[in-house]
Each structure stands twice: as structure tokens, then as C-alpha cells.
């Protein structure tokens, strides 16, 4: 069981993001979700979307974001990086260029979001990248089918934001159903993980990792408090 801390790459600067990654690792975080900020992050809430927008105001050169990810990887070789990218960003970078960047730097776990269709996702998978698949808490059959056909970890919604499925009222029920469907790949849980007890809940439900986002990001101006909070999250693993 691990925690995965989200890093807003480029906010407020790429240099600051690099330093935050080091602080994350020093506090006990073994996995970091690092993003390419999107020009159209339509699936994000206002908080993350505004950070992406401000990052791109400072630096809109995706080559420099690639360089920053490589720099983090070289500085923290024992930390696993998960790369978040919107499909529109991959298209702007160039699909082949993005795939080669990931493969050349052993960045194999990709959160590819905002898909219009499966073309880019399939190209990434065919090239050998592991592409995650998101499953909402109410367990839509079509999302479970997509998860079965994907080759990366399953990003399982940790808490309901609307109606839940009466067949699977608890997170443990949701994860058990994914396993019963033959999905043996890791299940990482996020959305609603705001406190250390939420990480404990994910662990007890059978999750392999828990995503921690805004709670950590909002403490970045108080590094000691941020590191203390990361330690509390990690202690529940």
C-alpha cells in the first residue's frame, strides 16, 4: 500500500515543482503523480484547473515540462512517477513524441484523460505504455469493461460524489467486484481522499494505493506542515 501525491508541474514555476517533489519524497511519498498542464483541463475542478492555467502562463513550452519530469526522475530514482496528460495535450506535443518520451525515460504508467475515442490510448498501449482506466463509484458496466481491456492500473473512485450502486455500497465491495471480473492489476483509489483516515479506509478496502491531491497542494506554502501531513498519510499505509 502506497500514497500517491499529486504534483502540479510548473506551478508556480517548474523550479518550485522540482523542489516540491524532493520534499514529497523526503516526507515519505514513494509515488508521485506529475502532470502536463492542459490548456483545456475540462475535467478538473476550479482549483487544479487554475493551477494548470497559471503554470502555462509562466511556461507554455511542453519540452520544458518534459525536461522537468526527467529532472525529477533523475533526482528521485526510487520514486515511481505516474504521468498525467490530457489527450489534447498529447495531440499538441505529438503522439509519437509523447510515446517516445515516456518509453525513453521508463515512464510507463500513464493517466490519459479527456479521450475523444480510443485512438491515442490504443497507440500508447501498443507501444508498451500502461494506460490507466477510471472507474466511478457507482460502477458503470461500460467503465468496468474498459478497465478489463486496459493494461494499466485501475483508478477507482474512493468515495461517492452522487448515487452509489446498491450492489456495491462500500469501496471494499467495488474492489472485490473488480477482482471478481478478472482484473488483477493494481487498483489505486482517489477522489475524496482528504484525511489520513481515508487512506486507512482505502487500505482496509483492498486498494493498492491512495491518491492524495488538494490536501497536500494547499499546504505547499508551509513546508513543515505539508511534510507532516504527508507523513500522517504515509503512516496509514
Residues 79-92: what's their mean pLDDT? 98
Number of domains composing the chain: 1
CA 206 to chain centre: 18
**At residue 14, does pLDDT exceed 90?**
yes
Neighbours of 103 (CB within 10 A): 14
* CATH, residue 213: 3.20.20.70
Domain residues for the domain of 96 are 2-235
65 forms beta bridges with: none
User: Which band of pLDDT confidence, cut at 50, 70 and 90, is reported for residue 31?
Assistant: very high
**At residue 164, does pLDDT exceed 90?**
no
Residues 57-82: what's their mean pLDDT? 98
Contact 148, 182 (CB under 8 A): yes
User: Which band of pLDDT confidence, cut at 50, 70 and 90, is reported for residue 169?
Assistant: very high
User: Which band of pLDDT confidence, cut at 50, 70 and 90, is reported for residue 232?
Assistant: very high
**pLDDT digits over 201-210, tens only?**
999 999 999 9
Amino acid at each position: 500500500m502506497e500514497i500517491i501525491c499529486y504534483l502540479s508541474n510548473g506551478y508556480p514555476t517548474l523550479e518550485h515543482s522540482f523542489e516540491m517533489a524532493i520534499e514529497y519524497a523526503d516526507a515519505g511519498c514513494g509515488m508521485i503523480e506529475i502532470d502536463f498542464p492542459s490548456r483545456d483541463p475540462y475535467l478538473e475542478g476550479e482549483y487544479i484547473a487554475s493551477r494548470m492555467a497559471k503554470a502555462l502562463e509562466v511556461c507554455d513550452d511542453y519540452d520544458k515540462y518534459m525536461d522537468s519530469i526527467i529532472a525529477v526522475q533523475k533526482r528521485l530514482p526510487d520514486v515511481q512517477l505516474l504521468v498525467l496528460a490530457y489527450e489534447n495535450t498529447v495531440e499538441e506535443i505529438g503522439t509519437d513524441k509523447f510515446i517516445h518520451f515516456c518509453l525513453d525515460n521508463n515512464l510507463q504508467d500513464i493517466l490519459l484523460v479527456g479521450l475523444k475515442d480510443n485512438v491515442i490510448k490504443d497507440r500508447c498501449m501498443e507501444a508498451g505504455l500502461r494506460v490507466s482506466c477510471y472507474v466511478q463509484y457507482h460502477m458503470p458496466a461500460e467503465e468496468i469493461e474498459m478497465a478489463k481491456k486496459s493494461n494499466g492500473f485501475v483508478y477507482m473512485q474512493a468515495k461517492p460524489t452522487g448515487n452509489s450502486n446498491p450492489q456495491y455500497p462500500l469501496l471494499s465491495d467495488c474492489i472485490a467486484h473488480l477482482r471478481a471480473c478478472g482484473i488483477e492489476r493494481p487498483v489505486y483509489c482517489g477522489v475524496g481522499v482528504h484525511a489520513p483516515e481515508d487512506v486507512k479506509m482505502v487500505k482496509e478496502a483492498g486498494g493498492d494505493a491512495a491518491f492524495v491531491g488538494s490536501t497536500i497542494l494547499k499546504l505547499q506554502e508551509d513546508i513543515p506542515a505539508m511534510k507532516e501531513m504527508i507523513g500522517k498519510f504515509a503512516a496509514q499505509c
